[in-house]
Structure 1
C-alpha cells in the first residue's frame, strides 16, 4: 500500500522519508517500539518528525505521547551525535516537575520494523482540548476568561524560567485545557524543536538551522536573531491572549508596515488589561515586564487603594501557625524590627519559634493569638481567619498560588513547609541566606514596608517558593526532612565509617559522595564549585546523603 506525505507525494510502503521532499512519514498504528510502546494513532505532524498516542505495555497500557524525531542523518556516528544533542535538551525537560507540565518519561533510540533508527521522546498524555481547538469550536473568549487563563498559566512560566528554561513556542495549539481539572497545561517546548533544526543543519548539509518560534507569536529578537529571554515567552503569551479575545490570527491584528499591534478596535477590554497586554507586547525586551510574576501582580493589583492600617493594632505573626508565647513575653510593636530577613528567636529547642515579619503589617488587619491570620475584605481579595490551618501531608498539592498578594503567598509558603515537616527556623534561615546572596548590595539591611521595597519582598517569597519546589523534588523521607537544620559533620563521619566497615553492603563512601553530589547539583546547578554553608544548603546536601545511607542499609538487610 503506497504512503503519501503531506505534499501528496507517493512513496512505497516501508519508507521513512518522502523520496520527493524528504518529509518524515508516519509509522503504522499497532507497531511496538522497544517491546514497550505500542502506537495507537497519529496526533500531530511537524517539520522534524511526528507525534503519536501510544500505550506503555510495561505500565498497564497507560497512555502516553511519543514524539519522533527523524533528522534524516546518515550513519551510526551522525545518529549518535544527534542523540547526544537531544539528550541534553531532554535532560532539561526531565528536571521540570510541575503539575501543569506533562511529565517527561524518557528519551530513547528505537529501530522501526523497516530497520530505520529513530529517536523518540516519551511524555505523559494530557487528556483535553488545545485552546486553538476551543477557539474554533466555541468562538472568542471573554475578558474574565482570558484573565483567569493568564492567572493560571503565569505561575507555570515563573517556574520554568526559574529553572533557566524558556518555552520558545507559546501559542493556543501548545496549551491544553486539561479535562480532569480545567487547568491549562503547557506542552511542546521549543527547545527540542530547536535541537532538531540544529541536527538537520549540522548533519545533513541543508543550510543554517531554522529559528524556532511560531510566526506572529514569537517576538522579533527570537525570529530574526534566535535570542530568547523569559519575557520572550511573555510576548507570545500576550499574543495568545489577543487571539483568544478576538478570535483572529496574529497577522490580522498586526500592522507589519507600521510595526504596531492594531487590536484595540477589535475588542473592548478594561484599561488595566489593555495596559498589561501593551507592556507585554513591547517591541524591545527591556520595555516589557521582566518576569511572569510581575504580570501576575499587575493582573491582581486592585484598582482601589488599600487603606492605611493602624499598626498599633497588630501583633507578631507566627508563620508556623503554632501557638505563640504569652502576651507578656512579646516585644511591643515599637521594638520589633521591620525585616524580610525574618528573625528567629528561640531560647532553646523546646520553646516555640517566633518570627517577626514587620513588613507584612500594611497588608494585615490583625493577627489572632492562636496563630490564625484574618484579612479584611479589601478590594479584590477576602481571607477567612483560618489561613494557618494544618494542611494535608501532600507537598505537591501545595504549589505556588495564582493569588500573589503577600498574605496569600505567606499562607502558601507556610502550608507547603508544614506539609514537608521542615523546621521553621531552618527554612527561614535558608531563604534569608539565598535572598541576601542574590542581593549583596543590600548589605543585609532590613526591608521596609513601603513601595520602594515591594520588588525585594516579592523576591523573598519567590526564593521561598522555589526552595520549596526543590525540597519537594529532592524526594526525601519525612524523617530525613524533619532533621534538616540538625545535621553535622559528625553525621557524615559516621556514614563514612559505616561504608568502610561494610555496614552498607558494597556501597562505598566514594559512591556516597558522588551520588550525593550528583543529586544535589541537579537541584542546585548554580552552586557547583561553590563552598556550601553548613547551616543552610549544606543541610540539604547532608539530607540527601542521609537518604542514600538509609536506602543502602535497607537494601543490605
Structure 2
C-alpha cells in the first residue's frame, strides 16, 4: 500500500462511515488505520482499516467472520466488511484508553516501571482472551505493548490491532514488531499459538524493566538477557523464562498452560508502579567539615558595665511575666481539650443509636471494607456513594454485603492471603474487580422480594427446616429437598459458591433461595401402572424447578420418558435420596426395581420463560445386567403390538415390547440404553384415559 493509494480525511464511505484522522502510516500487509465515525449511529467513534493489496485482502476476507465471532468484553466488536474507493475496508469498535507503550513511556520519564503485581495481574487478565482467540483457530501475530490498551472505563486490558491475524498453521506474515516476534517467525515457521505467548512474555519483561525488546537480546541474537537488577518471585521468573523460550521442550504451548503455572505465583503486596532498578539518584553535595575559628569577644570596658546590667535585668523580668502567663493558660487549654473529647464521645454515641434504628444495619467501614480515605479519585467516590444508596434502597445489611463481596474477591486471589485492597493507587485494579463483583452480587440480590432482602445476614437454618420437614412428611427425601433448593439457588449464587449448602456469607443466599423455592412447591404424585403408561403434564417457571414423585409397584422397575424444552434438565433420585440418573437433558431412562419407591424426578428450567413438561411412566420388569451399556427388559405380551421383523444378525434377542413414546408427538423415543423399539400396529398411548394434566 502506497501513500498515493491512501484515502483522504473527510470522505464518507458507503454513505455511512466518515474518515476523521489517520492513525497509522500505510503498510503493505496491515494497511492503514483511521479514526472514523458512524454517521447513522450518532457520530459513534470507530476504527476503520483500509487495505489495498490483493493478498492481505484475501486473508482478511477469509478470517473476518472468525473475528466477528469473537465476543469478549476485552476485545473490540468487529463489524462490517465492505469494498469502496478501490480498497477493502473493515470496521471495529473504538476503545477509549491508553496503550501500555504510552503508559510505560510516561513512567520512564519519572524513573518508574510496571511493578511485578501489576504485570502479574495483566497476564491473568489477558491470557483468557488469548485462549479464546486461539480456540477459534487463529493467532494475533503481533503481541506487544502498543497493541495492549488499558481501558479508561474499567481499567481492564484490551487486545487490539488484528492486522496480522492468520490461521494456525499458515506461513507467518512479515511486519511484526521487531524484538517481540520469535526468531522462528522470521524463519517462516508455521504460525502457532506459542508465538503469541512469546510476544506476551517479552511484553512483560519490557514493562518490568523499562528496556526495549532489542535491549534484552544478547549481541549474538541467540538468547535473551535477564534485565539487570530485576528481582522477582522465583515462580514468577520461571514462568516468564518459559514464555520467552523458543525451545519446544521448555516453552508454553497454550494459554491455559500459562494460567495453570501462574496459580503457583503469589500476588505481591502492591499492584502499582515501582522505581526502575537503574534509575539515576540525585545526590546533594556534602558540606566539608572545616575547623571552626572562634574569635574571642573583647571584654567590656568598665564604663559600659552599668549599661549592660540594666537591659539584662529588664529581660529577666519580661521572661518571668511570660512564664507566668503560660502557667495561667495551661488550665484553660486542658479544659477545652477535655470538653472537646467529651463532646466527640457523646456525638458518636448518639450517631450509633440513630444508625441502629435503620432498616439496614451498617458498619463504620466504607464500601470496600476499609477506612474511608480522601485520596480516591472522584469517579470512585461517586461509585461508592451510588452503591451505598442502592444498598439502602434495597434494605440490605451493609455489613453482610461487604463480607460477601470481600469473600468473593479473596477467593479469586487466594495468593493475597486474606489481604483486602487498600485505597492506595497501587490497588486500583483490585478495587475495580471488587466493584465489578459488588455490581454482580447486587443484581442477583435484587431478584429477592423486599422482605427476604431485609433478612439477609440474619437468616438461620431453622428458618427453612420447617418447610423441609413438611416436604419430608409428604414422602420426599431430605437429600432431594436439598438438591431442589440448590437448583433454585443457582440464579443467586456465583459459580464458585454453587453446590451443596455453602459457607457463610454465601449461606445466607442459599437460605433465602430455600425459603423462596419451597414456599409454594407442590409435589406432583403419579402411580406407575404395570404395562400401562401414565402421563403427567406440568408447567415449570423460568429459573425454577418441579418435583415429581412416582410410586412404583413392589418388585417392578420403571420406564420413564420426559419431554419439554431444550433448556430443561432432569435428575432422577432413588427412594433413599441417592442420585440414580445424573443431571442431564430430558430423555428416556430405565430403572430397575432396586431404585425403590417412590422414585423422585426433579426437572429444572434454565430458560427465561416458563415451559410445559410432559412425563410418561410405566412399571415393568427390568433387569439391569452387569454391563451398563446393555439393558435387557423382561418381555411381556401386549395386545395390539406387532413385533417388527429383526435381521438374523441381531445381537439383542430380548427387546422391550412396549417402548415409551414421546408424549407430545406420539413418536417412539429411544431410551438411553441400546434397546431397540418395536413398531405398534396401533399406538395405544394416544387414546389412553389415564392422563393427568396439571398446569
Query: How high is the TM-score relative to the length of structure 2?
Result: 0.41
Query: How high is the TM-score relative to the length of structure 1?
Result: 0.50
Pick 1 or 2: higher relative contact order, CA cutoff 8 A, min separation 6: 1
